[in-house]
């Protein structure tokens, strides 16, 4: 009689509705709302029962964790000793052990520099961006490659002046104080002279004027690079390199000039239409043929070029999405103010468009990050390639699964984290309108 409550006139009984609150209510509503649902729930529970406990037993309870030889793995479960022994290889490839600190310093600078980007309202984000996109790659290159480098002080000064001048000309907001209008009229001539000097100066005067060479640390050839480090290098270079190219292609595709539009559309659609693996085959087999005699570049550089070209086509489509999302009124307002094409794009449209497409760029990065595994097919030992190589080592046969689980874990952490971040950005940017 507990379920029956007397209401109204004596003698009229109605059933109390089933509970909808508390644990029992939740289970009833969400798991057993109908016979069909109950069956589904039981099937799901069975699936979980069949998969999860054996997995936990294999990965944790029966696993071997300590030791440094194959003989340490004598139990039924996973052999994490395998990962422990190969850990450095999986992280850094064949990078000399005494030089690994350089990779750490590179990661460290990146991490420290990137922190402000995640702080809302950090005032100098622009400068951090400029540092990450233009300065950091130079530092990272010298850190990771090393060896003797020669710099002509004159070239260096010319380059710095050109960079500073260009920033002042096109992004006055970044400069500390407003630059005089006269600068604007001098700039083109200045830029031409500086560029010409950088490209031809050395040849004209028959050698560097004020050469300075230094060896801070020994050279590490790129064929020694590998593991997660190589994966990160390929993915980062691909995404950073594809950004400018992708922006240019996207602008070209929306251009009113038919020839430029046709060239850009053809470029984008060709690279989007073929699988990355054929692009990598092309890069490793055909690029050497394209270059004049005597010019050769190593396998990694070829792969990087291939990946960058491939990624730029996808980047172009992402940026185009952003350009199309900018209301026509913005273009018209810019024209009404008398701005030309480049200033309309540079000052009005692109800053807004690039902001909206940040989540798209992050998604592109996730895809590229996963796709970098393909470089193992042309013989580079990335994270997965290194795990594959370790598993086929004669002393450690039979532990392929452990290697895959470990790499899967690494990839998953990165990709899942980034996709969550991109969803967060999407929500944040969405509320702005």
Which parts of this chain interact with other proteins (CB under 8 A)?
A: 30-31, 33, 37, 40-41, 44-45, 47-48, 256-260, 263, 269-270, 272-275, 277-278, 281-282, 285-286, 288-293, 366, 370-371, 373-374, 376-377, 384, 388, 391, 400-401, 404, 407-408, 411-412, 415-416, 419
Tokens of 197: 């000097």
Nearer to other proteins, 210 or 337 (CB): 337
Nearer to other proteins, 52 or 160 (CB): 52
In degrees to the nearest 10, what's the CA dihedral of 376, 381, 386, 389?
A: 70
Nearer to other proteins, 37 or 148 (CB): 37
Q: Alpha carbon 343 to chain centroid distance?
A: 29
Smallest separation, CB 366 to other proteins (Å): 8
Nearer to other proteins, 140 or 386 (CB): 386
Query: In b/e form, how buried is each residue of 197-232, taking b as 16+ CB within 10 angstroms?
Result: bbeebbeeeeebeeeeeeeeeeebebeebbbbbbbb
Q: In angstroms, rounded to a whole number, what is the distance separating the alpha carbons of residues 64 and 343?
A: 63
Smallest separation, CB 37 to other proteins (Å): 5
The answer to whether residues 384 and 400 touch, using CB atoms and an 8 Å cutoff, is: no
3-state secondary structure of 294: coil
Smallest separation, CB 419 to other proteins (Å): 7
Nearer to other proteins, 118 or 290 (CB): 290
Smallest separation, CB 11 to other proteins (Å): 37
Nearer to other proteins, 223 or 370 (CB): 370
Nearer to other proteins, 143 or 391 (CB): 391
Give, for 390, the enclosing helix (H) or strand (E). Answer: helix 383-391
Smallest separation, CB 369 to other proteins (Å): 8
Neighbours of 172 (CB within 10 A): 14
Contacts of 404 (CB under 8 A, 6+ apart): 387
Nearest one of 341, 321, 360 to 260, comparing CA atoms: 341
The answer to whether residues 103 and 144 touch, using CB atoms and an 8 Å cutoff, is: yes
Instruction: Report in angstroms the alpha-carbon separations of 89 from 227, 308, 383, 389, 392.
Output: 6, 26, 9, 10, 14
Smallest separation, CB 82 to other proteins (Å): 14
Smallest separation, CB 220 to other proteins (Å): 26
Smallest separation, CB 79 to other proteins (Å): 14
Nearer to other proteins, 220 or 376 (CB): 376
* 148, β-bridge pairs: 215
Contacts of 163 (CB under 8 A, 6+ apart): 134
């Amino acid at each position: 009689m507990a379920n029956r409550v007397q209401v109204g006139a004596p003698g009229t009984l109605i059933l109390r509705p089933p509970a909808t609150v508390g644990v029992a209510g939740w289970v009833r509503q969400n798991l057993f709302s109908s016979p069909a649902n109950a069956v589904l729930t039981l099937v799901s529970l069975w699936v979980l029962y069949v998969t999860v406990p054996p997995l936990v037993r294999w990965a944790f309870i029966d696993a071997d964790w300590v030791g440094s030889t194959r003989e340490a793995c004598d139990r039924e479960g996973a052999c994490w000793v395998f990962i422990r022994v190969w850990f450095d290889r999986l992280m850094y490839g064949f990078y000399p052990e005494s030089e690994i600190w350089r990779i750490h310093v590179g990661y460290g600078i990146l991490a420290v520099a990137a922190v402000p980007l995640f702080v809302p309202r950090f005032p100098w984000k622009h400068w951090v961006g400029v540092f990450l996109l233009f300065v950091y790659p130079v530092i990272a290159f010298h850190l990771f490659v090393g060896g003797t480098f020669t710099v002509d002080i004159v070239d260096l000064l010319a380059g710095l002046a050109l960079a500073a001048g260009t920033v002042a000309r096109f992004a006055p907001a970044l400069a500390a104080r407003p630059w005089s209008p006269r600068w604007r009229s001098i700039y083109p001539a200045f830029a031409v002279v500086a560029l010409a000097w950088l490209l031809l100066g050395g040849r004209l005067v028959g050698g560097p004027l004020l050469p300075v060479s230094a060896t801070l640390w020994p050279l590490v050839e790129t064929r020694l690079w590998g593991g997660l480090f190589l994966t990160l290098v390929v993915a980062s270079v691909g995404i950073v390199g594809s950004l400018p190219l992708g922006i240019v292609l996207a602008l070209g595709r929306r251009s009113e000039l038919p020839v430029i539009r046709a060239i850009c559309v053809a470029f984008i659609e060709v690279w989007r239409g073929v699988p990355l693996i054929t692009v990598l085959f092309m890069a490793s087999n055909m690029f050497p043929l394209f270059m004049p005699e005597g010019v050769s570049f190593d396998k990694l550089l070829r792969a990087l070029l291939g990946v960058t070209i491939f990624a730029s086509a996808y980047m172009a489509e992402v940026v185009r999405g952003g350009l199309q999302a900018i209301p026509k009124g913005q273009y018209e307002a810019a024209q009404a103010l008398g701005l030309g094409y480049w200033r309309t794009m540079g000052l009005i449209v692109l800053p807004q468009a690039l902001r909206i497409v940040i989540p798209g760029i992050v998604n592109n990065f996730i895809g590229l990050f996963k796709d970098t595994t393909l470089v193992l097919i042309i013989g580079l030992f990335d994270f997965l390639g290194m795990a594959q190589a370790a598993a086929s080592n004669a002393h450690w046969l039979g532990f392929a699964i452990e290697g895959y689980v470990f790499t899967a874990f690494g990839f998953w952490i990165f990709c899942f984290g980034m996709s969550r971040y991109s969803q967060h950005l999407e929500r944040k940017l969405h509320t702005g309108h």
